[in-house]
Amino acid sequence: MTQKVTVVEVGPRDGLQAEAQIISPAQRTQLITLLKTAGLACIEVGSFVSPKAVPQMAETHVVLESLKSLGSLDPYMVLVPNDQGFQEAARAHVKQIAFFTAVSQTFVQRNIQCSIEESLLRLKGMMPQAKAAGMRVRGYISCIMGCPYEGDVPPAAVVALTEQLLMLGCDAVSLGDTIGVGTPHRMRNLLKQVKQVAPLSALALHCHDTYGQALPNIYEALSCGLRIFDSSIGGLGGCPYAPGASGNVSTEDLLYMLDGLGMETGVDRSLLLQATVYVRDTLKLPLRSRSACADLKI
């Protein structure tokens, strides 16, 4: 494999929102700056959600103001769950937004307090303004392999929802194994079906590592032709609405595998370790990345 792969860093949002400790906007900005310095070209930096619901993401506008003072906001993405969040993102002049839905009615209800159908109506309402503002829109689909409340998910439901998001105007769709129950065989079967309604260039994969299957699933997706993968520095995260789900696949481990395959990512792993150390020291967490532990001789 000798092609370019895009790694989307989600630690500053999807990672931190699931950690108990809350760090300041200045600390979040420092982490994001270290990630960008390492060469990560797309970084999810926060979300415009209720600070009561997700206090870890409070003052995302302050983080964006700090990042803007350091340069362009083009590499940065924020999650917006509704029109109020979208308006805040628009005022911050971000160029990339992400929108959430899932194939599980229960999961969507617990996460953003609406049905799947209502979530799509929200997106439909935002899309004209987003496009007029020149924003790139990403759609997240959670629970593609299973739901903590409803169990197994049929691939046909994932295919249908992917097609709907693209028809509504999403530039990309990130397929999320939110509780990390997928296996390579199931991943191949799902992607084979999704590819029939979506171009590979519009698809990303977002794997959690609950059962240690994140890297095998990503390797399978690479073999299927996918070239965009989400990951989290230090394996931060989990899911506040999915009890028992572990963190995202770590960016360090993903890059180690991609480097070993000869894939081009544009990311310097030695510089990335500075972000790893910053996460460890700031959050006082043990490292969850095996390659980072090996590189740092821990």
pLDDT of residue 298: 75
Q: Residue 163: its pLDDT value, please?
A: 98
Long-range contacts of 254-260 (CB under 8 A, 24+ apart): 254/7, 254/215, 254/218, 254/229, 255/7, 255/231, 255/291, 256/291, 257/215, 257/218, 257/219, 258/5, 258/7
Domain that residue 92 falls in: 6-295
Query: How many structural domains comprise the chain?
Result: 1
- Residue-wise pLDDT for 136-171, tens only, equals 999 999 999 999 999 999 999 999 999 999 999 999
Is 242 a domain residue?
yes
Band (237; pLDDT cuts 50, 70, 90): confident
Would you say residue 279 has pLDDT above 80?
A: yes
Structure tokens at 26: 């200045």
Convert the pLDDT of each residue in 118-130 to its tens digit.
999 999 999 999 9
- 247 falls in which pLDDT band (50, 70, 90)? confident
Q: What is the CATH number of the domain that holds 228?
A: 3.20.20.70
Whole-structure pTM value: 0.96
The predicted pLDDT at position 240 comes to 57
Indicate if the pLDDT at residue 8 is higher than 80: yes
* Rounded mean pLDDT, 15-38: 96
- What confidence tens digit (pLDDT) does each residue in 43-98 have? 999 999 999 989 999 999 999 999 999 999 999 999 999 999 999 999 999 999 99
- Domain contains 11: yes
1 occurs within a structural domain = no
* Structural domain includes residue 173: yes
Q: Is residue 251 part of a domain?
A: yes
Assigned domain for 220 exists = yes
The one catalytic residue among 114, 143, 239, 293: 239
Does residue 183 sit within a domain?
A: yes
Q: Is 207 a catalytic residue?
A: no
Query: Binning pLDDT at 50, 70 and 90, where does residue 245 land?
Result: low
Amino acid at 83: D
C-alpha separations of 71 from 33, 60, 66, 76, 90 in Å: 10, 17, 9, 11, 18
